[in-house]
Amino acid sequence: MTEKFEALLLTKTETGQAVAWTELSDADLMPGDVTVRVTHSTVNYKDGLAITGKAPVVRRWPMVPGIDFAGVVESSSHPDFTPGDEVVLNGWGTSETHLGGYAQFSRVKGEWLVPLPAGLSRADAMAIGTAGYTAMLCVLALEAHGVTPDKGPVLVTGASGGVGSVAVALLSKLGFTVHASTGRPEEEGYLKSLGASEIVARQELSAPGKPLGRERWAGAVDSVGSHTLANVLAQTKYGGTVAACGLAQGLDLPASVAPFILRGVTLAGIDSVMAPKAKRLEAWARLAQDLDRAKLAALTTTHSWKDAVTLAEDILAGKVRGRVVLEVA
């Protein structure tokens, strides 16, 4: 490992926080039994929140942001990893309490790492990233609750975003009729190319609604929360399931219990950060199997990691379509 390496560093200031590129050394890395040379990272919504300081994601200062990375093992005292192994990391407190992926090197616990699944490159793994892995966790939850294509259409909210785009691609490959809710009508062609058959205008779902509505969807992947999630629950078919993973509209849930007690609807909560390793391995194996590579390429744009700060602002402004790969120089 080189003496010094480059990283993006968040520091706490009297007025909030500052962000700057800096040089770190091995001594700055945190405890762990595997050191990884990071080659790719990405920009998720949570990275936007951390870098801009718009939500208190960071709980240790200074902090290297980046909730995920792909890379090559540089050194390891963990029995499962040897130098040269290709690995992926999602969550586990990176960018919160542990230095994250926007650095040329990272030291983590081996138990946090997932071996790069066969058939995926490191760039593919970050095109998927935490957003795509979370989309797969949502699909697994729908499957576990018996949502199958014959039960009726499924809805994806925030469909042009990272979680949403991957969810649309996955569900359509699995044979579902997919309805995509978006606030960007100009992305209709994009969403249909990923496999959506119908577009639902964001405003149809984002305003306060009734406790129960017409039964429209057998299941849903919701990355938006707030009134949108309440309205999706109210319009889920009898016995259906909604996988809730996000808060792009808001952290609140102004809903009633009517869908639960009158229609037996299930609200399945999805967390990617502390998900157990077996669930991660299942999700990554299913992504390698079920995510159409041409669609993954179509929903991905590639940038230098030096664009991370600009992209952090863009993603919070809803300007990023699909997924972004950052190439770490």
Q: Give the footprint of ligand NDP on this chain (CB under 6 A).
A: 44-46, 130-131, 134, 158-164, 182-184, 202, 206, 223-224, 228, 245-249, 270-273, 315, 318, 320
Q: Which is nearer to ligand NDP, 39 or 130 (CB)?
A: 130
Report whether 246 contacts 45 (CB < 8 A). yes
Can you tell me which residue has the tokens 């003496």?
3
Least distance (Å) from ligand NDP to the CB of residue 198? 14
Task: Return the closest-CA partner of residue 156 out of 146, 140, 170, 174.
Answer: 170
Least distance (Å) from ligand NDP to the CB of residue 318? 4
For residue 154, report the phi and psi dihedrals to the nearest 5 degrees: -115, 155
Sequence-ordered alpha helix ranges (H) in the chain: 45-52, 122-144, 162-173, 188-194, 203-206, 226-234, 258-263, 277-290, 293-298, 308-316
Least distance (Å) from ligand NDP to the CB of residue 294? 20
Least distance (Å) from ligand NDP to the CB of residue 190? 9
Can you tell me which residue has the tokens 């190319």?
193
Q: Which is nearer to ligand NDP, 34 or 311 (CB)?
A: 311
Q: Which residue of this chain has its Cβ atom nearest to ligand NDP in the complex?
A: 161
Q: Which is nearer to ligand NDP, 35 or 226 (CB)?
A: 226
Least distance (Å) from ligand NDP to the CB of residue 265? 19
Q: What is the DSSP string of 158-174?
A: STTSHHHHHHHHHHHHT
Task: Return the closest-CA partner of residue 178 out of 140, 129, 216, 141.
Answer: 216
Q: Which is nearer to ligand NDP, 63 or 73 (CB)?
A: 63
Q: Which is nearer to ligand NDP, 153 or 246 (CB)?
A: 246
